[in-house]
Amino acid sequence: MKKIIIIKAGDTFPHMAEKFGRFDQWVFDGLNVDKNLIETINVENGEELPEPSEILGAVMTGSHSMVTERLDWSEKTAEWIKKAVETGLPFFGICYGHQLLAESLGGEAGYHPKGIEIGTVMVSLTGEALSDELFSSMPLEFPAHTVHSQTTISLPYGAVCLAKNAHESHHAFRYKNAWGVQFHPEFNAEIMKGYIREIEENLADSEVKMNSVTETEEASRLLNIFALYCLRH
């Protein structure tokens, strides 16, 4: 039976994993389909990715690593992503996965010139999103959880921007059957608060950010929408 794979690119802090589970578990919960249809591949630990023809789709998690570190496992995964996307495999990259998707297709990732974006923020759809398979059912503006210091500086040729805000001009994009989101649809409010606590000493407005955290039901739906898309194609 073909499955949707979760490409695990890292993990959360140990104490947060104890309380909330790990990156792949958050994505698994968000996909919200039969557990027998999902398999996790831990590329950070050297696990091999399957041939794209053998699976229904792929979701790549975030990571505490940086795309610009050019780690061996990351570069190898980027090659696989390029091959998979060109074959038409549905792909969904989150944060690190979003940036690596862009790089694998000829875009560029790097440190954000405006610095870190963290907390629950408002994200706005672009006109291109209105006819998009995943985003067309989303409200024109919705809250989403964020924590990133790197970004997709430039999109690959042929990609379309689907969402943005004042801080981040590429919060979501599509290239063929592949989507990347800079925000975190797999986070819930408590996970978001946990990340703010981790770096609150370095944030001038940590209390404001903490008090602004809300659940992000619309953004969270994207993982299930993607899973259903994979099952249809």
Distance (Å, whole) CA 98 – CA 109: 9
Contacts of 37 (CB under 8 A, 6+ apart): 1, 3, 4, 56, 227, 231
Considering the candidates 44, 95, 168, 230, report the single residue annotated as catalytic. 95
Question: Catalytic residue at 184?
Answer: yes
The closest of 102, 174, 74, 106 to 134, measured between CA atoms, is 174
Q: What are the distances in angstroms from CA 119 to CA 67, 80, 184?
A: 21, 31, 10
Considering the candidates 103, 170, 184, 230, report the single residue annotated as catalytic. 184
3-state DSSP call for residue 225? Answer: helix
Considering the candidates 117, 148, 186, 230, report the single residue annotated as catalytic. 186
Q: Which residues are catalytic?
A: 95, 184, 186
